């Protein structure tokens, strides 16, 4: 373990999981409270650093981007961030000769209320590198081991690490993924199911510039999204997120590299010229899940430990970052009042702040997937009519952009770009 030792009068926080939400929470709390809190991040995969995230990319919405700016991270991330300046949504079968565009965003200058793009594509590796560097600079401690047991007591929680050491803290944050052992050990229930789909991710190089335009092509098997990335070594690049029937994945990806690329070209099209595989593809089973509670005694759930949603809208990471912003805010308020940041009322405030938005987003993404992964003609006609209706109503389009960019509603201060 490295980082500063606990000081008299300071509180301790242990974060299980060095993913993006866990690191963001740790940094936000340490930057806002400095000597008032000691933070340690525990993760057995820390020795691999940011490299274990290679090949993944995320759409960072405007709210989380404002949070990264407030935390002094965005200038480190910006060189690896590509603005999504335009988005086109199509709906057709794979063999259809024409893919009509039913809905576009930002083509006519529609942006967030602060005039910025509603999202940026950021590759995971440089994002995690920036978080790790800033966290170490801030004095956050790291332990390259997991938390094997956590026992709440009256005013603290006693933790045993995987290497046998024992620590105490005011609060443990379980940011240890969808199969969170800490969540299970605390007896928090999980409502969820598996989709008969896999998510396939890859990075593609192409001849022509993407000009910041993203595409979401809805197919009967699920959406195929092409998302703009920054150029690298003179190559124009995009990330693809491809939802496919699980039963078909082995046949689609099990052939020679040129056969796999041909399947990608059938979906990607030739609008950007010749394609080449730069990274991947890799397939991951898709599922849905929400914890029955986001808290237990001296324990808070964060990120995938609290919720897993379909990637159809690209909001999984943004949901986790919103949770980090909300938890950092309620804990900071408690610390400045001189009260216990792991007390039940603090964790109840966190759960109230995030429960409704999380359930609403999870239900929306599940509904979108079921609606668009359906080839029945009446359903196709109805959804295409709905998309066309939104396209013709600028006010409604601005509403959807505001929702996607965390620019509306009662959002945590960090998502509004305000300091804690």
- In order of their start, the domains of the chain are 11-192+288-416 (3.50.50.60)
Distance CA 275, CA 265 (A): 7
Would you state the pLDDT for residue 182?
A: 97
How far apart are alpha carbons 268 and 275 in whole angstroms? 9
- Which of 265-274, 291-300, 342-351, 401-410 shows the lowest mean pLDDT across its residues? 401-410
Q: 82 is written with which tokens?
A: 């590509």
Does 221 have pLDDT greater than 60? yes
Percent of the chain with pLDDT over 70: 85
Distance, CA of 161 to CA of 165 (rounded, Å): 5
Per the document, the length of the chain is 420
Given CA atoms 159, 160, 163, 165 in this order, what sign does their dihedral have?
positive
324: nearest Cα among 139, 58, 63, 77:
63
Confidence (pTM): 0.91
**44-58, 137-151, 162-176, 365-379: lowest mean pLDDT where?**
365-379
Separation of CA 290 from chain center: 15
The arithmetic mean of pLDDT across residues 213-223, rounded, is 88
Look up residue 292 and give its DSSP letter: S
CA-wise closest residue to 212 among 83, 314, 110: 83
pLDDT given for residue 86 in this prediction: 86
24: three-class secondary structure by DSSP: helix
Single out the residue of 211, 289, 281 nearest to residue 242, CA to CA.
281
Report pLDDT for 124: 94
Q: Which residues share a beta bridge with 206?
A: 236, 275
Q: What angle do CA 201, 207, 212 make, to 5 degrees?
A: 65
Helix axes 20-33, 316-336, angle to 10 degrees: 20
- CB within 8 Å of 413: residues ≥ 6 apart: 325, 329, 419, 420
Averaged confidence pLDDT in the chain: 88
């Amino acid at each position: 373990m490295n980082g500063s030792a606990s000081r008299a009068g300071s509180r301790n926080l242990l974060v299980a999981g060095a993913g993006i939400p866990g690191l963001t929470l740790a940094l936000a709390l340490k930057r806002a409270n400095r000597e008032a809190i000691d933070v340690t991040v525990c993760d057995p995969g820390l020795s691999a650093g940011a490299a274990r995230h290679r090949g993944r990319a995320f759409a960072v919405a405007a709210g989380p981007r404002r949070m990264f700016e407030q935390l002094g991270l965005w200038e480190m991330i910006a060189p690896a961030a590509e603005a999504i300046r335009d988005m086109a949504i199509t709906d057709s079968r794979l063999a259809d000769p024409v893919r009509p565009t039913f809905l576009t965003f930002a083509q006519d200058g529609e942006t967030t209320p602060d005039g910025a793009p509603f999202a940026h594509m950021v590759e995971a590796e440089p994002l995690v590198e920036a978080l790790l560097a800033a966290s170490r600079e801030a004095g956050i401690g790291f332990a390259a081991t997991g938390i094997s047991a956590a026992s709440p007591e009256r005013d603290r929680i006693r933790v045993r690490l995987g290497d046998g050491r024992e620590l105490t803290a005011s609060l443990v944050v379980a940011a240890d993924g969808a199969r969170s052992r800490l969540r299970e050990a605390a007896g928090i229930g999980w409502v969820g199911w598996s989709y008969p789909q896999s998510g396939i991710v890859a990075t593609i190089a192409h001849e022509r510039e993407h000009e910041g335009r993203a595409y979401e092509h809805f197919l009967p098997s699920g959406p195929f999204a092409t998302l703009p990335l920054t150029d690298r070594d003179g190559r124009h690049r995009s990330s693809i997120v491809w939802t496919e029937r699980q039963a078909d994945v082995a046949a689609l990806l099990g052939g020679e590299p040129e056969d796999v690329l041909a399947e990608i070209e059938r979906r990607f099209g030739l609008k950007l010229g010749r394609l080449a595989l730069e990274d991947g593809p890799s397939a991951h089973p898709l599922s849905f899940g929400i914890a029955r509670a986001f808290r237990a005694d001296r324990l808070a759930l964060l990120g995938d430990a609290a919720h897993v949603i379909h990637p159809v809208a690209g909001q999984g990471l943004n949901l986790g970052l919103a949770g980090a912003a909300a938890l950092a805010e309620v804990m900071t308020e408690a610390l400045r009042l001189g009260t216990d940041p792991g007390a039940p009322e603090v964790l109840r405030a966190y759960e109230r702040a995030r429960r409704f938005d999380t359930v609403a987003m999870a239900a929306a993404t599940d509904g979108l997937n079921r609606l668009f992964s359906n080839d029945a003609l009446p359903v196709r006609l109805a959804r295409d009519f709905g998309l066309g209706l939104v396209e013709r109503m600028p006010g409604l389009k601005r509403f959807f952009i505001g929702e996607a960019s965390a620019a509306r509603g009662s959002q945590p201060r960090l998502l509004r770009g305000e300091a804690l």
